[in-house]
Chain A
Amino acid sequence: SQQGEEDPQALSIQEGENATMNCSYKTSINNLQWYRQNSGRGLVHLILIRSNEREKHSGRLRVTLDTSKKSSSLLITASRAADTASYFCATDHFGNEKLTFGTGTRLTIIP
């Protein structure tokens, strides 16, 4: 069964606006990762946040993690047309080698 649930399922914003998507999970995690997938392509790793971290930045990306609420958010600032893609969160859990992916948020940036 899927651990991560992204919200919203789809999001459309104007270029230049900020985009926020959320991920919730059910059981305690070791790490949480975000990936991007452009249409018809493989997934690309964006950022990894460990369970003892609360916030992490990478360029225009900001990820937060709230382990008490079992949730994470991905913020993309100053969006660009090239950010149009699906975004997935993935979790791994203590003692479990496997990553579990959510169903994704489809982000569309309107030029």
Chain B
Amino acid sequence: NAGVTQTPKFQVLKTGQSMTLQCAQDMNHNSMYWYRQDPGMGLRLIYYSASEGTTDKGEVPNGYNVSRLNKREFSLRLESAAPSQTSVYFCASGQGYGYEQYFGPGTRLTVT
């Protein structure tokens, strides 16, 4: 099993450009999550999806949109990138509330 996969691994954008980060899991998990990690800040939840067809905002949703395409895939879109969105982005999946989460390898995004 591949677990949680993310593409791309690295990306550089100019301010105002858009992009979509892709995430897929092969563990048949119901819940999927997008986090960002900034130095000294730990992980902060951007959006999550408790089940196929549902999405909810996390702690820092502004400037992002998500799509739960099917049970396996959960994408994160930046419509108009800003330097404040420079970060490392992690996707995770899990069985849901009260269970552990499994993380992907991350996408390192720089916005200039």
Contact = CB atoms under 8 A, between A and B. Distances in A.
Do A and B interact with each other, yes or no? yes
A41 B104 CA distance: 8
Contacts of B50: 97
Contacts of B97: 30, 92, 97
A20 B40 CA distance: 20
Which of B43, B45, B56 counts the most A-chain CB atoms under 10 A from its CB? B43
Instruction: Choose among A88, A99, A100, A103 the residue with the greatest number of B CB atoms under 10 Å from its CB.
Output: A99
Main secondary structure on A side of the interface with B: loop
A45 B101 contact: yes
Interface residues of A, number: 22
A97 B99 CA distance: 10
A42 B45 contact: no
B48 interface: yes
B43 A101 contact: yes
Interface size class of B (residues with CB under 8 A): 20 to 34
Interface in A8-51: 30-31, 33, 40-45, 48
A69 interface: no
A77 interface: no
A48 B100 contact: yes
Nearest to A9: B40
B90 A42 contact: yes
B42 interface: yes
Contacts of B56: 97
Contacts of B92: 43
B50 to A, nearest CB: 6
A97 B100 contact: no
Nearest to A89: B42
Contacts of A88: 42-43
27 contacts: A2-B41, A30-B97, A30-B98, A31-B98, A42-B103, A42-B104, A42-B105, A42-B106, A43-B90, A43-B103, A44-B103, A45-B100, A45-B102, A92-B98, A97-B31, A97-B48, A97-B50, A97-B96, A97-B97, A98-B45, A98-B48, A98-B58, A98-B59, A99-B45, A99-B101, A103-B41, A104-B42
